[in-house]
Amino acid sequence: MIQLIRGFKDILPGEVELWQHIEDTARVLFADFGFSEIRPPIMERTELFKRSIGEGTDIVEKEMYTFPDRKGDMITLRPEATAAVVRSYIQHKLYATDPVRKLFTIGPMFRRERPQKGRYRQFYQIDAEVIGVASALVDAQLILLLVTLCSRLNVTDVMPHINSLGCPECRPVFRKALSRYIDGVSADLCDDCRRRKDKNPLRVLDCKVPSCRDAMAGAPSVLEHLDPDCAGEFDLLKKALDTLDIPYIVDKNLVRGLDYYTRATFEIQTGLLGAQSAVAGGGRYDKLVRTLGGPDTPATGFAIGFDRLAEIVGIDRSGLASTPDLFVAALGEQCRALAFEWISGLCLAGIRAEMEYGEKSLKSQMKRANRMGASRVLIVGENELTEGAAVLRDMKTKDQVSIPLEGLVETLIQKVKQQAF
């Protein structure tokens, strides 16, 4: 038996309906905030991610699914969506008519990480980007959007964490101070952090290994090294969140694992996921559009971990299951032929109808209708053909009524319209 590749998963009926509910809720909310959907491909040229994410990051060095195509060009399954959205924004000159674009996409990403609860090698994200606005007010609006989405999905125990990563002008000063501190605690760091500290010392702040977190507890804060512009934008973000009555935590150790982030960065964290506390994260990337060959355009955005979010959605999932409006229990070949005609007409009219296609007893068909959760069963056999009327049974109340066979489909459709079905 051939089984799944490690780190991948099937999303089965029962779970799919929950995912669809999350997607539908997100799409309605995005539309209310003025976002348009974009669907970039899942494969891009490897150079796109090297230039955007950064060659020294763990994602590019160890986690990307990269391979040559038949012509020898290097292709990568996208490990994240922002770079692909920005590439599309530039390639199709979406800035020509209006430089401000609000875009979102939902789909699979790929990273060869160590599989664990809530983390897969093919994972899904809800990704949103606002391109063309420099103000921290938009960062606050994105946090509002995330908090609202969690509320509508009844995800409790969430808290925004915010920080500033500074900009290329003020970050070098902080980087030097941080590197000096890391050199002093290097012996207490894990092997990955000792490797990271020279290439990207900010990533040491993000390590989840307990010994590293203890060692970095006294590290200098980037907030102490912000230039006036970055400090002013971070103050604006905090004031905007206060205005929106959104509680938050200023987290000096909050960084992002991608090189393109600048200034504001944020995460939505929850206590419902154990050690993997972040369900969404993002921030500002004002230099990425220019880095990838576009005009000098500010941008900000976030990504929601769909797999993690689906685990903690606090709604009654039983109500999401799709069940038949009607099951036709047909006895005999002639009745099955009629039943097939009826359910086809009902389905075309938007009424979900099912039947048993093989020769089964009435008792067996009623059991199947019950397992499927059908609200009503239409019973037709030789007696019903003789009398010219089928029996419609309510599976909850057990009440039964006769429905004339002539014009049966139209009668049932009319009952649905009158909510008498």
For 83-97, what is the mean pLDDT?
96
Residues 337, 295 share a domain? no
Contact between residue 263 and residue 233 where contact means Cβ atoms under 8 Å apart:
yes
Residues 241, 134 share a domain? yes
Written as six digits, the tokens of 309 are 């979010």
Residues 161, 94 share a domain? yes
Q: What's the pLDDT tens digit per position in 371-393?
A: 999 999 999 999 999 999 999 99
pLDDT given for residue 150 in this prediction? 95
Residue 299 has pLDDT above 90, yes or no: yes
Written as six digits, the tokens of 334 are 């002639």
Q: Which of 293, 316, 339 is the last residue of a domain?
A: 316
Written as six digits, the tokens of 86 are 């920005």
Residues 243, 310 share a domain? yes
- Rounded to whole angstroms, how far apart are CA atoms 120 and 346? 40
Residues 328, 312 share a domain? no
Instruction: With respect to residue 32, please indicate whether it lies within any of the assigned structural domains.
Output: yes
Instruction: With respect to residue 37, please indicate whether it lies within any of the assigned structural domains.
Output: yes
Q: What's the pLDDT tens digit per position in 255-283?
A: 876 677 889 999 999 987 766 688 999 99
Entry field: residues in the chain: 421
Q: Exposure of 25 by Cβ count < 10 A (0-12 exposed, 13-18 middle, 19+ buried)?
A: middle
Q: Which of 289, 316, 343 is the last residue of a domain?
A: 316
Per-residue H/E/C for 80-140: CCHHHHHHHHHHCCCCCCCCCEEEEEEEEEECCCCCECCECCEEEEEEEEEECCCCHHHHH
Q: What's the pLDDT tens digit per position in 123-171?
A: 999 999 999 999 999 999 999 999 999 999 999 889 999 999 998 888 8
The secondary structure of the chain in percent helix, strand, coil, rounded to multiples of 5, reads: 40, 20, 35
* Number of Cβ within a 10 Å radius of residue 263: 26
Instruction: With respect to residue 178, please indicate whether it lies within any of the assigned structural domains.
Output: no
pLDDT given for residue 257 in this prediction? 63
Sheet with 249-250: list strands edge to edge: 36-37, 101-110, 122-131, 299-305, 278-284, 262-270, 158-164, 249-250
Look at the alpha carbons of 303, 244, 228, 213 in this order and tell me if their dihedral is positive or negative. Answer: negative
* DSSP letters spanning 194-215: HHHHHH-GGGGGG---HHHHHH
Residue 254 has pLDDT above 70, yes or no: yes
Instruction: With respect to residue 159, please indicate whether it lies within any of the assigned structural domains.
Output: yes
Residue 203 has pLDDT above 90, yes or no: no
Residues 30, 87 share a domain? yes
Residues 375, 281 share a domain? no
Residues 150, 39 share a domain? yes
Q: Which of 269, 294, 316 is the last residue of a domain?
A: 316
Residues 339, 255 share a domain? no
Instruction: Determine the 3-state secondary structure of 329 from DSSP.
Output: strand
Structurally, the chain folds into a number of domains equal to 2
| Of the candidate ranges 60-74, 93-107, 249-263, 366-380, the one whose mean pLDDT is the lowest | 249-263
| Of the candidate ranges 127-131, 221-225, 289-293, the one whose mean pLDDT is the lowest | 221-225
The answer for 388, left when phi > 0, alpha when psi is -120 to 50, beta otherwise, is: left
Look at the alpha carbons of 46, 128, 107, 160 in this order and tell me if their dihedral is positive or negative. Answer: positive
Q: Exposure of 310 by Cβ count < 10 A (0-12 exposed, 13-18 middle, 19+ buried)?
A: middle
Residues 230, 147 share a domain? yes
Range of the domain at 342: 323-413
Question: What percentage of residues in the chain have a pLDDT greater than 90?
Answer: 70
pTM of the full structure: 0.88
Residue 77 has pLDDT above 80, yes or no: yes
Residues 384, 265 share a domain? no
Contact between residue 164 and residue 234 where contact means Cβ atoms under 8 Å apart:
yes
Kindly report the CATH number assigned to the domain that includes residue 276. 3.30.930.10
Kindly report the CATH number assigned to the domain that includes residue 369. 3.40.50.800
pLDDT given for residue 283 in this prediction? 95
Instruction: With respect to residue 215, please indicate whether it lies within any of the assigned structural domains.
Output: no
Instruction: With respect to residue 374, please indicate whether it lies within any of the assigned structural domains.
Output: yes
pLDDT given for residue 174 in this prediction? 85
Quickly tell me which residue has 């079905």 as its tokens.
421
Instruction: With respect to residue 191, please indicate whether it lies within any of the assigned structural domains.
Output: no
Residues 140, 54 share a domain? yes
Instruction: With respect to residue 381, please indicate whether it lies within any of the assigned structural domains.
Output: yes
